[in-house]
């Protein structure tokens, strides 16, 4: 597992906020799934904003529509 530095952690937060910006705050489960996928990619070595954002968007697209 790749160690995450403060720059990557900051990017994780920004990406999560960006990807989830249109979701209601009550979508805790969906936000958790998206955060998990973004974190998984970061630990896998994909650590640029664009790579992390794409992972978050893929998780969002894969979510059942009733969870949005």
Question: Is residue 29 in some structural domain?
Answer: yes
pLDDT given for residue 1 in this prediction: 64
The tokens describing 51, both together, are: 């790579």
**pLDDT tens for residues 13-62?**
999 999 999 999 899 999 999 999 999 999 999 999 999 999 999 999 99
pLDDT given for residue 28 in this prediction: 94
Question: Is residue 68 in some structural domain?
Answer: no
Domain of residue 46 covers 6-63
Question: Is residue 10 in some structural domain?
Answer: yes
Question: Is residue 50 in some structural domain?
Answer: yes
The tokens describing 65, both together, are: 């529509």
Q: Cα angle at 23 between 14 and 21, to 5 degrees?
A: 30
- For the chain, the domain total comes to 1
pTM summary value: 0.86
DSSP 65: G
Question: Is residue 1 in some structural domain?
Answer: no
């Amino acid at each position: 597992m790749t160690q995450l530095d403060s720059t990557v952690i900051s990017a994780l937060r920004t990406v999560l906020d960006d990807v989830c910006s249109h979701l209601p705050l009550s979508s805790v489960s969906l936000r958790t799934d998206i955060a998990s996928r973004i974190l998984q990619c970061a630990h896998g070595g994909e650590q640029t904003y664009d790579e992390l954002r794409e992972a978050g968007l893929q998780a969002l697209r894969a979510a059942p529509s009733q969870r949005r």
